[in-house]
Amino acid sequence: MLRLIESLELLSNQKSFVLGIANARQKLWLLLHLKSLRIKTYKLHYRLNYGIRQRAKTVYPIRQMKKKFSTTDQFLDYLENKSYEVLYLEILFENGWSFKERSNHLFRIHTNSIKERNDLINKFMNIAGHELVPFKDLSLNITYFLSSSGEFYDLSLGENPDEFWSKGKRDNWVKNYNNKMNPESVETAKHFETLKFIYPFKEFKLNIEEINDPPF
């Protein structure tokens, strides 16, 4: 059974979060709850898609929208009447918030404070029919999945790196991840020694006179 919100991840700057949403591009109507915010800039990549009326082999080129919008409700009004397939969407608001839709499965949202983050998450959870989020029980950079009863659970997948990590922390995460995913390679490298090739005949010199019974 598909739920409106399938997962939640709090990012390490403590002002941003990621919502897991199945068929996220069909849930862009959630942006109506941000219609009080003014759009500063946005980026939308799309292509025409006429659904069942389109020939199977017809693929239209990807384009970037240039039309201007002030609010998300104006933006959604325009999309409603178009046969557009949204491929990428990013919005920067004048108050400093930002929204990004990724891979048709994730809403990535940045706010300006922990309180704004928590209030917005609880707003979306309320829309999905859930109670207040127990933020004190959730760790940063962990994807928590959400049950129909509103319970958060961790599948022990470990931390997810984000853009707010330092280079050193990210590099260490990559190293640990590679060690975990390829333990055989790590163990082999640990015991590996450079091969030394021995040429047994390098110093061998044949003196024909010392052979008592040569074969020729």
Q: How far apart are CA 179 and CA 173, in angstroms?
A: 10
- In angstroms, the first-to-last Cα distance of the chain is 88
Q: What is the pTM of this model?
A: 0.79
Stretch (H or E) spanning 153? strand 152-154
Q: What is the model's pLDDT at position 60? A: 84
Q: What is the model's pLDDT at position 182? A: 81
> Position of tokens 């990559």?
174
**Mean pLDDT over residues 95-105, rounded?**
93
Q: What is the model's pLDDT at position 58? A: 81
Position 101, amino acid = E
**Digit-coded pLDDT (tens) for 24-43:** 999 999 999 999 999 999 99
**Digit-coded pLDDT (tens) for 116-153:** 999 999 999 999 999 999 999 999 999 999 998 889 99
Q: Alpha-carbon dihedral of residues 178, 184, 186, 188, nearest 10 degrees? A: -160
Q: Are 65 and 73 in contact (CB under 8 A)?
A: no
**Mean pLDDT over residues 57-80, rounded?**
93
**Mean pLDDT over residues 182-198, rounded?**
58
In Å, what is the CA distance from 20 to each residue of 6, 102, 192?
Answer: 5, 10, 43
Q: How far apart are CA 205 and CA 202, in angstroms?
A: 9
